[in-house]
A = this chain, B = another copy of it.
């Protein structure tokens, strides 16, 4: 293994000077620098990240924590991760995904000194992981919000997204619209904050319109989607439109409705929010979608984290970004009925 000492010897300098060149932390005479750079080149020296981390107490590694059990989110999640990784890299940080099963593993990671900062996804309103993060003293940024909105976060703007979905459906003449979302609780019985926000945005919108509201929650799967179709026809048969915020149930909802004799969009319009254009494309008829701003969230999240690490004195960022409407063929004029 080539070490800094080897480089120093070859360039006839001390290891301190090599370090200065490598990190740009101090002026070094041009000729000296050239000699050192040549030695580095010739020896193909790479600095030992572990030793550097121990000496400097920084690793320049950022981790995205995510639950190991959960299905990995698909096109949206992927885009999020990639843009976060690229954003990190552009600012000179490594970025890793760290699947975690339990609290024990999380403590291990937080205390181990291996990462400089953490990005947390799928944050819940009262999230014990956030408490742990705070306790650990490690810098972090949240993708999603807790109850305590003082903490730094970037998040989808669910209120605006739902309002726009409602507006879009209204422009097609729909008045009775149901919300279909995800049934999901952690062991402690908490649901992700975004589900809570989606529900209340929907209820607010319906209240403002003076229309009746029905919220259907099903699991995130094809079967869940079919169940939603059934519940919809039982509990809210007057609905002519559905706002769907449950990506994995999308296909099942369409299939299930068809099986119950309601075709999309003739009998029922569907708009799938917080998802991706790719998903819309996969389904027949192509879904009208509100595409999640995954790329932006990834970049903003990682930048917020790095700003913090590098001691930007700004207030912690609170960023909300709405989804973008991508029209498909699943929304049509409201059917006339009595």
Interface set of A (CB-CB < 8 Å, partner B):
46-51, 53-54, 59, 61, 63, 68-69, 71-72, 74-75, 77-78, 81-82, 85-86, 89, 94-99, 101, 105, 107-109, 111-114, 221-223, 251-252, 254-255, 258, 278, 281-284
Contacts and interface: CB of A to CB of B under 8 A. Distances in A.
B98 A96 contact: yes
A2 B255 CA distance: 57
Nearest to A107: B46
A105 B59 CA distance: 15
A50 B251 contact: no
Contact of A72 (B77, B105, B252, B258): B77
Nearest to A277: B222
Select the residue from A48, A50, A81, A86 with max chain B CB neighbours within 10 A.
Answer: A50
Given A251-B281, A281-B251, A283-B282, A99 B95 contact: yes
Contacts of A61: 114
A113 B52 CA distance: 11
B69 A82 contact: yes
Contacts of A71: 75, 78
A71 B277 CA distance: 14
Given A49-B114, A222-B282, 14 more contacts: A48-B112, A48-B113, A49-B113, A50-B54, A50-B113, A54-B54, A63-B96, A72-B72, A72-B78, A81-B99, A96-B97, A222-B278, A223-B281, A254-B284
